[in-house]
Structure 1
Amino acid sequence: MFKMMVADVDSPSYIVATAAVKLGFFAAEGVEVEFIPVYGAKDGIEQLKAGKIHFFGGPAFAATRAFPQWRGAKLLCALAQNSYWFMGIRKDIPIARGDVLALKGVRIACSFAFPKTALQHMLSEAGLALGDVEIVESLKNGSEWHSLDGIRAIEENYADAFWGNGMRLALAEKAGLARMHIDTRRGDGPSGTKHYNFAALTVSDRLIERSPEVAAAAVRAIKATQKALQRDPSLVRHFADEMFPKAQAELMPELIDRDKSFYQAEIGVEALSGLNRFALANGLLDRALEPEEVIATQFMDTWL
């Protein structure tokens, strides 16, 4: 039995990995996988290194936290293209969408697990100095579901804006508390922001070496899941109603429909170049890596 974990269970980007298990696409490839429904951003990549899980769906740069210079891990494929973080801002703050410099003096809440790195980098590239913006860690949450973090930050006057996945923003918009300020996937932010990162499936070199047929099957399962969700986003309701709180379950098909054109498995030259630049700039690497050092290139044909 193999095990899968994702960084944030209700992310519309990571949901591809979840759906590949829950909708039976791994099983169709003859691979039995258990989905572990926890907040994987906390220690999922460390569990991958320890061999406690076998697949990790999360930020493409996640491996660098436990596998220095990517030694010992590889990206099998993309779950979705481009950076996928959003910034929601309190509705009564009168600044134009996408204006990063206008965030000076604003308090922004975010998870410190992975997203903070991208947020700080984006603010710096836009020309804001350290201290121009107050970044505060999302309020503590005893649940595995962090979708209400944005709502809580604004309702409790803990922050004026928040940085997180699409579900976090959608719920705050629906509650009438926030509006979209930045959508990195669609080009908001400084030049190159959309290529800081992408959602990817990471595995250990150990799995690739011991079970290459399982790694290849995983890519096929992800690809099949992407195609299925593109055709019919409502398929997610087959497991979302049992897995998520009602509000999240109802919104997920809509968010998948919005993002489905980005559900592509390939990792292109531009994506890897952007990832290298981002990782170098943030001390996650000490040199730019070649494709075969980051990607399980032997499975690239399976992306097509």
Structure 2
Amino acid sequence: MKLAIPDLISNSYFPALAAAELEFFEREGLDVSAELIFPVDRAYEALRDGAIDFVGGAAHGALAAFTEWRGVKLLGALAQGMYWFLVMRKELGIARGDLAALKGRRIGAAPWVEMGLRGLLTAAGLDPRPHDIRIGPVPGATGSSVNFGLTAA
């Protein structure tokens, strides 16, 4: 069986990669090999097209290839909650948890992550649009041969 992992640099998909590399699947009677397919939407497209057997990736990425979840099933979680961190420049003097300080700021986010961030801010009562919080890609961090995590760091 082929397991697609969309990222080898972040902790996002580490549990699935570790399970393959440490032969957890083999001990359960499964012959599984991990393959890097970046970004996550391409991994799910490969699943849809039958090139791989399952994806160790963000659940929301499945919607890029499976409209309204038709043809795909979520089997388990690699992590709980959102494991992303919002990091701002120290010289801005923003206190931890001070979401109001995000008003008028530009925030770089990976593809699909921006959707989650918008939802979190809105749920916290800070709708990005009326508060001029602009969430978009990190300059130079897009393209098929670019590793977002390395570029953003």
TM-score category of the 2 structures, normalised to the smaller one: 0.7 to 0.9
Q: 1:145 aligns with which of 141, 144, 147?
A: 147
Q: How many residues align?
A: 149
What amino acid is aligned across from residue 87 of structure 2 in structure 1?
G
Aligned position for 1:175: none
Q: Per-residue CA shift, 1:200-255, capped at 9, x if unaligned?
A: xxxxxxxxxxxxxxxxxxxxxxxxxxxxxxxxxxxxxxxxxxxxxxxxxxxxxxxx
Aligned position for 2:61: 62
Aligned position for 2:2: 3
Q: In 2, distance between residues paired with 1:74 and 1:128?
A: 31
Q: 2:118 aligns with which of 116, 120, 125?
A: 120
Aligned position for 1:94: 93
Q: In 1, distance between residues paired with 2:22 and 2:83?
A: 23
Q: Per-residue CA shift, 1:173-202, capped at 9, x if unaligned?
A: xxxxxxxxxxxxxxxxxxxxxxxxxxxxxx
Q: Indicate the SS of the match to 1:79.
A: coil
Structure showing the higher strand proportion among its residues: 1
Q: In 1, distance between residues paired with 2:138 and 2:37?
A: 17
**What's the offset of the Cα at 1:103?**
0.2
Q: Indicate the SS of the match to 2:57.
A: strand
Q: Percent identity?
A: 39
Aligned position for 2:21: 22
**What's the offset of the Cα at 1:118?**
0.5
Runs of 4+ in 1 over 6 A off after TM superposition: none
**What's the offset of the Cα at 1:36?**
1.1
Alignment of 1:75-94 (within 5 A): 75-94=74-93
Q: Per-residue CA shift, 1:74-108, capped at 9, x if unaligned?
A: 11111121121111111111111122221011111
Q: In 2, distance between residues paired with 1:121 and 1:105?
A: 17
Superposition CA RMSD, Å: 2.0
Q: In 1, distance between residues paired with 2:23 and 2:146?
A: 23
Question: Residues 9 and 145 of structure 1 are in contact (CA less than 8 Å); yes or no, is this contact kept in structure 2?
Answer: no
- Whose RCO is larger (CA < 8 A, sep 6+)? 1
Q: Relative to structure 1, is the Cα distance of residues 128 and 101 closer, same or farther in structure 2, using a 3 angstrom cutoff?
A: farther
Question: Residues 4 and 55 of structure 2 are in contact (CA less than 8 Å); yes or no, is this contact kept in structure 1?
Answer: yes
Structure showing the higher helix proportion among its residues: 1
Gaps of 5+ in 1: 152-304
Gaps of 5+ in 2: none
The structure with the larger Rg is 1
Q: In 2, distance between residues paired with 1:63 and 1:70?
A: 7
What amino acid is aligned across from residue 118 of structure 1 in structure 2?
G
Question: Residues 4 and 34 of structure 2 are in contact (CA less than 8 Å); yes or no, is this contact kept in structure 1?
Answer: yes
**What's the offset of the Cα at 1:144?**
5.3
Alignment of 1:205-216 (within 5 A): none
Q: Could you state the TM-score of these two structures normalised by the residue count of structure 1?
A: 0.45
Q: In 2, distance between residues paired with 1:144 and 1:128?
A: 30
